[in-house]
Amino acid sequence: MARSKSATIFIAPLISLTLLAYFFTVGGQAQGQNSKVTRIRSLEPNLYSPNLYADRLKMKFTLINLPGASQPGSYWEISYKLYYISEAEYRKVIMQSGRGGGTITESTQFPEKILLTTGHYKSWHLGILRQRTHIQDGITFKAKIPDKDRTKFAILMTNYSIKIYDAKLKSTVYRSGIWLTNPFADDTAQPQNAVPRTVIYTNFYVSPNGELFESQWPRDNNSTDWP
């Protein structure tokens, strides 16, 4: 049986921080699939923004494509945790990491993080996209965050581990990692404005030759194309 496994890595498609005090944010909670524009935002340190914190969050996990989705025996399994990291703690750790030549690779690097939710999901019914989509709704957010920490450039961290078996390819793919994003998203009506982020997307795509791709792009359609 062919297997592909990758270690925990730092993956941040929606946010990264340079030491020049700029945040690069890509996409937004309601951004369309055909308008993936990278935006550069000037960092506004410790900008108190409680209006950008949603009362509740939703996590949406989608296995967009699997060659052997209709084959008996195929399955996917995912374990995940969603954390909140204050802006102050994130800046402190990223600065320390930069000085030490390291990178952000583990949630344990943030001892003051707040756990928002944790979950585990496994399914053998993968024939249609709806069956390859897992949603956890009603995740309490704003009420769990101390009022003083409700700043604009805080961090939402998704820590995940996934295992996918394709009965057609007779191969197993493993992947674990972290995704980072902000509590806010772009307003679709006025992209220069920010609105509370309400959905955290995590997408996986297994190619015909068994290669695994990942993204956090918003997906609200039934397309099985990548991205």
**Each residue of 90-134: pLDDT tens digit?**
999 988 887 655 678 889 999 999 999 999 999 999 999 999 999
**Which DSSP symbol is given to 89?**
H
Q: In this structure, are residues 203 and 217 in contact, taking their beta carbons and an 8 Å threshold? A: yes
Task: For tokens 């945040």, name the residue.
Answer: 23
Q: In this structure, are residues 206 and 66 in contact, taking their beta carbons and an 8 Å threshold? A: yes
Q: What is the pLDDT of residue 98?
A: 73
Residue 17 structure tokens: 């921080």
> pTM (2 decimals)?
0.82
What is the pLDDT confidence band of residue 202, given thresholds at 50, 70 and 90?
very high
Pairing of the two strands 171-181 and 9-10 = parallel
Other C-beta atoms within 10 Å of 28: how many? 23
At residue 91's C-alpha, the angle toward residues 86 and 92, to 5°, is 100
Other C-beta atoms within 10 Å of 124: how many? 13
Question: Which range is least confidently modeled, 37-41, 76-80, 190-194, 219-223?
Answer: 37-41
Cα(72)–Cα(28) distance, integer angstroms: 36
Kindly list the strands in the beta sheet with 15-18, ordered across the sheet, starting from the edge strand earlier in the chain: 15-18, 22-26, 38-42
Q: What is the pLDDT of residue 102?
A: 62
**Mean pLDDT value across the chain:** 83
CA 111 distance to own-chain centroid = 20
Q: From residue 45, how far is each of 23, 41, 88, 171 by CA, in Å?
A: 11, 12, 9, 47
Q: What is the pLDDT of residue 105?
A: 84
Q: From residue 158, how far is each of 130, 188, 202, 204, 215 by CA, in Å?
A: 22, 24, 9, 14, 12
**Which DSSP symbol is given to 225?**
S
| Mean pLDDT, rounded, for 86-92 | 95
What is the pLDDT confidence band of residue 79, given thresholds at 50, 70 and 90?
very high
Task: Cite the DSSP H helix spans in 42-165.
Answer: 87-100
Q: In this structure, are residues 179 and 160 in contact, taking their beta carbons and an 8 Å threshold? A: yes
Q: In this structure, are residues 190 and 30 in contact, taking their beta carbons and an 8 Å threshold? A: no
| Mean pLDDT, rounded, for 170-177 | 96
Question: Which range is least confidently modeled, 21-30, 61-70, 133-142, 202-211?
Answer: 21-30
Cα(217)–Cα(198) distance, integer angstroms: 14
Cα(211)–Cα(119) distance, integer angstroms: 25
| Mean pLDDT, rounded, for 66-87 | 98
| Mean pLDDT, rounded, for 5-31 | 35
Segments making up each domain of the chain, as ranges: 2-215
What is the pLDDT confidence band of residue 157, given thresholds at 50, 70 and 90?
very high
